[in-house]
Amino acid sequence: MKMKKFLSLLMLIGIICFSTTTIVFGEEIVYDAYYIVTTPGEDASTQMNINYHTHNKLTSLEYTVASDINYENKTVVTGDLVEFEAKDDPTDVGKRVEEDFELRNIVSVYLTGLEPGTEYRYRINKGDGTYTEDYTFRTADGGKETTFLFLTDAHVHKYSTQEATENTYHYDRVVVNRALEMAPNLAFVLHTGDMVDRGGKQSEWDTFFQASTNLRRIPMVGSPGNHEYYHYSTGEYSAKFYNAHFNSPKNGPAELLGSTSYFIYNNILFVQLDTVKRLNMQKQMDWFEEIVYNNPTKYIVVSAHKPFQGYAEEWFKLFEQFSVDLVLTGHTHSQNYRPNHLFTQNKKADDPNLGVTYLTGYGSGEKGANDGFGYLITIKDDKIDIQSYKGEQNLARFEHEAKRPDTHEPITKQEFIDSLTFTVDKENERAGLTWTEKAYGNVLKVEVKDNIRNYDNKQYIWTPSKTFIYFENIHDGYVYDYTATVTFADGTTESFNYVFDLDPNSNIRLTYEEETPSKAIVDVDLKDNLYHFTYFSVFLNDELFDEYNIFFDGFTKKFTFEDLDPNTEYTVRVEARTHRNEVIWTDELTFTTVDFKTTTDEGGCKSGTSLPYAILMGLSAVASTIFVVRRKKY
């Protein structure tokens, strides 16, 4: 009897346990895995990221080498799981969505320790022992050739009829298929946004993944476009829905985690930027500078949705400093190709190693257009090859030579230091520091700081053509004090100081007027270009006499000095100061007061008088074409 009760209890426990694994809040568990996409990890030779959605918490991922079709040597992993739901709330503009996203779990899987140059397959256990189809990917092999497909603006869209909706499949069924025909070893698809027409519309993501059958055999990486940002026609505007569907490397700035990222594939640094909003732009630029500096590669490819011209032009200087090879964008649904361009100077670079190539692509779908565009890009050891095409038709082909050689000529630190030359170009109002082209590979960067004006500039020596750094707006009459710091390839640094002045007395006119033996008047007349300096101090024999602000007191001011001693030499000094109270320019005037002893000759003229005189002292005036530079090593 006791045994029967015990068995009954066990059965009851079993029923309860079984029920808790098959029933959720009174509803059956849905065993599924959908919206599956593969994305390169930070190191694409050993890492791969996978993202998928599911309605249960029991799923797992199994992966193995591609030849192991029965998964006999599989590895089983479970990913990071977070709940996701978005319901439209008409009463709260910040919570509006075009269509509800029902409650589901988003699973992020990070595969690490993979073998380079190896093809893998994986499948997802839906939680009940049934599986998805197999997905495949190949890790980077460390070789010298990489081919990928650049797409933008697919705008996959859910229409009222199935026929119209299926027209939006064109980006994958035609454009991606054609790329795979031309390049069977295609590494991945790089998409610069507007994949769907409305981020906050679940049916459009359904349509996107229904269209994207090639995601089963090729990874995709991208950047969000403004259409992924749209939650609704008005209201919230963020990368929330983009991040819910892609598992990009989580190595971007904290404020843009997921939508901004980078990865290294063979000898190429790929950087994906989120520039849809201008918010956090400076943080993103600081991050970009750090990751490019710390990850030197032969090529640098940047991608973003919106073109930088006219929208985020502060990036141009940074791209040029690092000699970025290729910048890929979309958004305009039209092609704009600028090879080896210097936007900071609004011209094509005379030296192709200094310019940046910008390509804004045609749309790959454009809301059901019959023929989308694709750009098959092959990066080889010596050049970049870009083949554009539309449907089955090849269009323009572009080539760019590599900017960074594989080897460099070693030189000593002293040889580099000896090559440093500081020059001043008065005609073009700039000063500069130049050095040998052999610096490439031996020196990482040269930074120059203006010690007076608290302004700095830097040059990253990312190609042999980086042999200079300049400062603009060099004017007569100013004193300049620069510190140059060199960072060598081994991480050590050395600093040097450069000081020069140009016509130091040309910007001020001090005029002495005689009054009495105990009184003198000095006029200070400043040239108009001294408006850069706000504050001026006037000293008499090194004691502060007065201070004034040219914005309130003007460029001309008269100072009267009283209670002076007769027949005595005095010095008036004027100092120009910045808003930080830094003295950046001075000039002096020396005069002698008159003596009391005077006589008058028969004609009534005074004699025996110590006549007043004015002598300009201090900084010596120099010819307008002469300057002096002093270098001091710290």
pLDDT tens, 454-487? 788 999 999 999 999 998 888 766 778 899 999 9
* Claim to verify: residue 485 and residue 520 sit in the same structural domain: no
Give the domain CATH number at 520. Answer: 2.60.40.10
Q: Residue 553: pLDDT band by 50, 70, 90 thresholds?
A: low
Token couple for 533: 């300096």
Assign residue 290 a region: left if phi > 0, alpha if psi is -120 to 50, beta otherwise?
alpha
* Claim to verify: residue 202 and residue 157 sit in the same structural domain: yes
* Claim to verify: residue 476 and residue 524 sit in the same structural domain: no
- The confidence score (pLDDT) of residue 590 equals 86
Give the domain CATH number at 143. Answer: 3.60.21.10
- The confidence score (pLDDT) of residue 227 equals 94
CB 171 within 8 A of CB 150: no
The pLDDT of residue 10 is above 90: no
Q: What angle do CA 206, 207, 211 make, to 5 degrees?
A: 120
CB 114 within 8 A of CB 153: no
- Over residues 336-364, the mean pLDDT reads 95
The pLDDT of residue 412 is above 70: yes
* Boundary (domain end) residue, out of 401, 421, 448: 401
- The confidence score (pLDDT) of residue 516 equals 74
- The confidence score (pLDDT) of residue 603 equals 41
The pLDDT of residue 549 is above 80: no
Determine, yes or no, domain membership for 407.
Answer: no
- The confidence score (pLDDT) of residue 316 equals 97
Determine, yes or no, domain membership for 14.
Answer: no
- Over residues 160-167, the mean pLDDT reads 80
Half-sphere exposure of 504 (CA within 13 A, CB side): 21
Residue-wise DSSP of 119-131: EEEEEEE-SSS-B
* Claim to verify: residue 453 and residue 396 sit in the same structural domain: no
Burial label for 347, CB within 10 Å (0-12, 13-18, 19+), is exposed
Cα–chain-centroid distance for residue 63? 36
* Boundary (domain end) residue, out of 401, 421, 443: 401
- The confidence score (pLDDT) of residue 321 equals 96
Share of the chain above pLDDT 70, in %: 82
* Claim to verify: residue 446 and residue 419 sit in the same structural domain: yes
Determine, yes or no, domain membership for 10.
Answer: no
* Claim to verify: residue 130 and residue 164 sit in the same structural domain: yes
Q: What is the mean pLDDT of the chain?
A: 86
* Claim to verify: residue 569 and residue 611 sit in the same structural domain: yes
CB 599 within 8 A of CB 572: no
**Residue 585 host element (H or E):** strand 583-592
Determine, yes or no, domain membership for 87.
Answer: yes
* Claim to verify: residue 395 and residue 526 sit in the same structural domain: no
- Over residues 519-525, the mean pLDDT reads 78
* Claim to verify: residue 58 and residue 85 sit in the same structural domain: yes
Determine, yes or no, domain membership for 82.
Answer: yes
Half-sphere exposure of 608 (CA within 13 A, CB side): 7
Q: How many CB atoms lie within 10 A of CB 350?
A: 10
- The confidence score (pLDDT) of residue 537 equals 86
Determine, yes or no, domain membership for 19.
Answer: no
- The confidence score (pLDDT) of residue 57 equals 97
Give the residue with greater pLDDT, 609 vs 404.
404
Q: Residue 602: pLDDT band by 50, 70, 90 thresholds?
A: very low
421-445 pLDDT tens trace: 999 888 888 899 999 999 999 999 9
Residue 452: closest CA among 528, 526, 532, 525? 532
Determine, yes or no, domain membership for 169.
Answer: yes
* Claim to verify: residue 209 and residue 322 sit in the same structural domain: yes
- The confidence score (pLDDT) of residue 551 equals 58
What is the C-alpha to C-alpha distance for residues 377 and 147, in angstroms, rounded to an integer? 6
* Boundary (domain end) residue, out of 342, 373, 401: 401
Q: Residue 589: pLDDT band by 50, 70, 90 thresholds?
A: confident
Determine, yes or no, domain membership for 138.
Answer: yes
* Claim to verify: residue 381 and residue 259 sit in the same structural domain: yes
- Total tally of structural domains belonging to the chain: 3
- Over residues 249-277, the mean pLDDT reads 97
- The confidence score (pLDDT) of residue 617 equals 32
- Over residues 82-91, the mean pLDDT reads 95
Q: Where in the sequence is the domain holding 480, given as residue range(s)?
A: 413-502+627-633
Length of the chain: 634
* Claim to verify: residue 132 and residue 266 sit in the same structural domain: yes
Half-sphere exposure of 552 (CA within 13 A, CB side): 5
Share of the chain above pLDDT 90, in %: 65
106-163 pLDDT tens trace: 999 999 999 999 999 999 999 999 999 999 999 999 999 999 999 999 999 888 788 8
